[in-house]
Chains A and B, each alone.
Chain A
Amino acid sequence: MPEPRPGPLSRLNLNWLGLLPFALFALLFLILPTMKIVVGAFQTPDGNFTLDNIYGLNTESIVSSYWVSIQLSLITAFLGCLIGFAMAAAVILGKLPGKVRSGLMTFSGVASNFAGVPLAFAFLATLGPVGLVTIWLRNEFGINLRAMGFNLLSFWGLVVVYLFFQIPLMILMIAPALDGLKREWREAAEILGASASQYWRMVALPILFPALLGTFALLFANSFGAIATAFALTGPQLNIVPIKLYAQIRGDVLGNPHLGYALAFGMIVITALANGLYIWLRVRSERWLK
């Protein structure tokens, strides 16, 4: 360092001072607000410690909202992983021209960010009651989607809409792992007489497994915290946790502010678990991808 070196203690102090603005920002707008929720979940309105708020979550309506949210996130994460993996594998391993690959990556970047309110509108215009595909199927083929039990404003409708940002996210996240599959591994397996399915079952998938499961956890958390798309699509009726929390913040529908804290705390716990799993598995999978 070009400047004169003071004693170790004062130098250390000065260096930490450089982080002060960031630390202050993180404290005020990230850590303290979150702590407020976490602490509030374990407090009575008078400020005493209690577990009643957590127990209070055990009502039929709240438990079912968590259950619907978890199911929605699991299903969209699973289908997103499956379809995204197939598409990414097709482009990266399927000997398709390089232009196709860069095109798909660019589009995935756009589509994974095209969530929220406009996405709901796009699907309403397509699969809604008077949407393009709904009308087309009815006029050309006599297929009435609604009579077949498909409703865009339902659980499965929401699954289809969520897949629009889950699949591209999967493609973006899994592409580096697929690139990391070395050609030598496949050639070695083939020389030893492995069939394509044996190669996938015994070589490629075990290597990709941490990456696959990690991305699954990330997709889960991604859809668990999402609200805007569902809200724009179905309004405040759909019984998923973020929408319930939204209604609680807006008008204390649960009739107990501290139950709202507990509801939010439950969300943090679930997304933290999913993300913790993701980070742990990513560290494991990166061992192979160097």
Chain B
Amino acid sequence: MNKGFYRFLRVWMFLGFAFLYIPILVIIVMSFNGTAYGMFPFQFTMEWYSYLFTKSELLPATMLSLKFSLAVAFTAVIVGTMAAFGMQYMTPGMGKKLNTVLQLPITIPWLVQGVSLLLLLNLLGIGRSYFGMFCGNIICVLPYVVMLVLGRFAMADRTPEAAARLLGAGPLRVFFDVTMPMIVPGILAGGMMAFIVCFNSFCIQYYLAPFGVRTLPVEVFTLIKTGYKADLNALATLMILISLAAIILLNRLGYSGSSLFSTGAKKGNDKL
């Protein structure tokens, strides 16, 4: 390709990234702005950060979301890893069928997923509850865990397991001493994805959270409906930094970009 065309691509790319990041940078800058409503002139302050950690109504919602997402991610990791492990024993046909069903919670709009689950829970007399919210979120994060762990299985060399079995190790011993270390990066990445997706899943929590209970996404939704909130800028800045840290960590584990979202699990991972 000629030089001029590549220069055009680079300029376009730069503009695209500017479009994506200017709003985020504005939030970060505004979180240090003392003037009300994010207006000029800019006055440096740390006030919003201290407000966030002392008085803000965002703090309890954040803590609730952290605890809840941890519980969901933990469960999803256990169940999802078991599933990926079990799928190793399935016939290709059966594995494919399960894989298709697994895609369902992430391909249908979460609005429909949330609504249909709410109706079922209502019918069962459970309705909006922590249990319901837990169920709704776990089904939406489970596919990510299974995909990422499956990807590790696809890459792994399976002969050491056979060797261990021949040498007399029991199935549990083989799993924890041989299989487990091979798939740990997938489990960690799956856990992180599950946590982050659950932490941010507004739609499901909006429909299934118990009345009066506000997780962070629900709280943020009601807050920004009413307009500008300076302490939200501070929280957003912290969340973006934490996300960045998570991405760097995932990168170290060998997961970059598309491998986190490739739903076919055929590629394993593509290191850059």
A and B: real partners? no
Q: Give me the interface of A with B, judged by CB distance under 8 Å.
A: none
